[in-house]
Amino acid sequence: MLNKNDEVIIDIEDIGSDGEGIGKYQGYTLFVKNALPGDQVRVKVMKPKKNYGYARLLEVLQPSAYRVNPLCEVAGKCGGCSLQHLSYERQLAYKQNKVKNCLERIGGFKEDIRLEPIIGMEEPFYYRNKAQFPVGRNKEGKVVIGFYAGGTHSIIDTSHCAIQAKVNDTIIEKIRTFLEEYQISTYDEESHEGLVRHILTRVGFVTGEIMVCLIVNGDDLPYKEKLIESLVLTPGMTSISLNSNKVKTNVILGDKVITLWGQPFITDYIGEIKYQISPLSFYQVNPGQTKVLYETALNYADLKGDEVVWDLYCGIGTISLFLAGKARQVYGVEIIPEAIEDARQNAKINHIKNAEFFVGAAEEVLPLKYKEDNIYAEVIVVDPPRKGCEESLLNTIVQMAPKRVVYVSCDPATLARDLRYLCDRGYQVEKVQAVDQFAHSTHVETVCCLQRVNC
Ligand SMILES: C[S@@+](CC[C@H](N)C(=O)[O-])C[C@H]1O[C@@H](n2cnc3c(N)ncnc32)[C@H](O)[C@@H]1O
């Protein structure tokens, strides 16, 4: 057992679920942020518990062969990236292993499963099309704009982020200059005073269109015409708006958006499908890898053109619209009414007539429709949040007995649990494909194809 403030030297042997290094000191496990397997490190114990503890990295004595210099100066402090100091190749190996371990440990699958090699990004930097920068002031009264330090709400002033669209650097500098020049107040979380809280930007990677939205603790922005004059000079600027959020909350966006200049939305494409994206819409943040993910889902659905497909947890209908071109009819189900409004609008602007959307919890809508309307499906696609699918939903899927189930997952642990449920009730896993959507984080997306046995 170690005590607080003890300093020890350990070898890091493993990597934890949040990207932290794991090593042992005389059998006692320590978790160390920013340490990597293969590193020998000197650490200071910060939070000792009975069987394990958390320690701070003081010095890397022997670096791991997989350690690289992060591109971003603040990578170690910022809460955004937890793996930028690990080579991208090893990040992919770590994610592939995470999926494999969950399938084996939680799902009980062994060699009987075909796990394809993970699909990584061609360029693992500057891939995010959406950024939300908190705004504040430092002790000297200077404007700070950047990201929260890991696990805190203290803002690290950042002029450049290595995973966001590069145009953000220009936008942030313009807003910083404006806030300083016109002495616009910035929001203080403690006192709930001050005006500018956050800056939201979105960039259409295919169209080049740019959206800037300032989130304010009020209804207006003094000297807004000066800011607009400056922002519109940025090539691609399409939409400038204010979002009013007067609530003392950690939720970034309020409900009300006022367009200050240009359109209330930008447009972008994933594959052939066009999307209108407003400040409040959900939209995938890595469009390049989203296309890869959806193409894999479409491929696994193996549609011939005459199928009825249910897309559960459909969000703004992204997968549904992708599938609609290859199916007879697609039905989408999503719990958030605004997302369904976007889904219907997206179907309309793409002239897609064979996609219908329902608002509600998938585990309520599907069983009810099955019981009352006797619906059926050749293929069911699910893309649930991290907690996975409710058992009642999986049970209805088993009863409906579609030929194929395509499971898109952002959490390999709940994926493995749900696959086991389906495989114990007439399904067999055909293929599993991990896709890296979020380089430098520990997250991994997985698509899985299940086939009904004997059909
Ligand atoms: C991982 S996202 C997938 C969204 C969409 N398939 C996409 O690719 O953009 C999960 C979605 O499930 C929705 N959701 C959460 N719980 C739900 C439930 N019980 N029933 C239906 N939708 C739900 C969330 O609002 C979110 O849009």
In terms of phi and psi (left: phi > 0; alpha: psi -120 to 50; beta: otherwise), the region of 440 is left
Of residues 280 and 118, which shows the higher confidence score? 118
134-189 per-position pLDDT tens digit: 999 999 999 999 988 877 888 999 889 999 999 999 999 999 999 999 999 999 99
- B/e letters for 124-141, b = 16+ CB within 10 Å, e = fewer, are bbbbbbbbebbbbbeeee
Domain with CATH 2.40.50.140 in the chain: 7-62
**201 φ, ψ to 5°?**
-125, 150
CA of 386 to the centre of ligand 1 (A): 10
pLDDT-derived band at 261, boundaries 50, 70, 90: very high
**Beta carbons within 10 angstroms of residue 5's beta carbon:** 9
Length of the chain: 455
Q: What is the pLDDT averaged over residues 6-25?
A: 93
Verify whether residue 410 is a known catalytic residue. yes
CA of 334 to the centre of ligand 1 (A): 6
Asked if 30 and 55 touch (Cβ cutoff 8 Å), the reply is yes
Strand (E) or helix (H) holding 177: helix 167-181
Domain with CATH 2.40.50.1070 in the chain: 130-277
Q: What separation, in Å, do the N-terminal and C-terminal C-alpha atoms of the chain show?
A: 58
Q: Which of 295, 313, 357 to mutate to test the pocket of ligand 1 (most atoms within 8 A of CB)?
A: 313
Measured from the Cα of 283, ligand 1's closest atom is 9
Measured from the Cα of 314, ligand 1's closest atom is 6
Asked if 157 and 144 touch (Cβ cutoff 8 Å), the reply is yes
Nearest to 273 by CA among 196, 343, 328: 343
Please list, in sequence order, all residues whose beta carbon lies within 8 angstroms of the beta carbon of residue 74, skipping any fewer than 6 positions away.
146, 147, 156, 158
**Residue 446, pLDDT score:** 98
81-118 per-position pLDDT tens digit: 889 999 999 999 999 999 999 999 999 998 778 899 99
Burial group, residue 259, by CB count within 10 angstroms (0-12, 13-18, 19+): middle
The topology under which CATH files domain 7-62 is OB fold (Dihydrolipoamide Acetyltransferase, E2P) (2.40.50)
Q: What is the pLDDT averaged over residues 331-355?
A: 94
Ligand 1 pocket, CB under 6 A: 282, 284, 313-315, 318-319, 333-336, 339, 361-363, 383-385, 410
pLDDT-derived band at 455, boundaries 50, 70, 90: low
Strand (E) or helix (H) holding 14: strand 7-15
Domain with CATH 3.40.50.150 in the chain: 93-122+286-452
Asked if 83 and 19 touch (Cβ cutoff 8 Å), the reply is yes
Strand (E) or helix (H) holding 280: none
CA of 170 to the centre of ligand 1 (A): 33
How many Å apart are CA 19 and CA 33, to the nearest integer?
A: 7
The topology under which CATH files domain 93-122+286-452 is Rossmann fold (3.40.50)
Angle (CA) 340-273-118 rounded to 5° is 95
The CATH number of domain 130-277, selected from 1.10.10.10, 2.40.50.1070, 3.30.300.30, 3.40.50.280: 2.40.50.1070
* Pairing mode, strands 427-435 and 404-409: unpaired
SS3 at position 383: coil
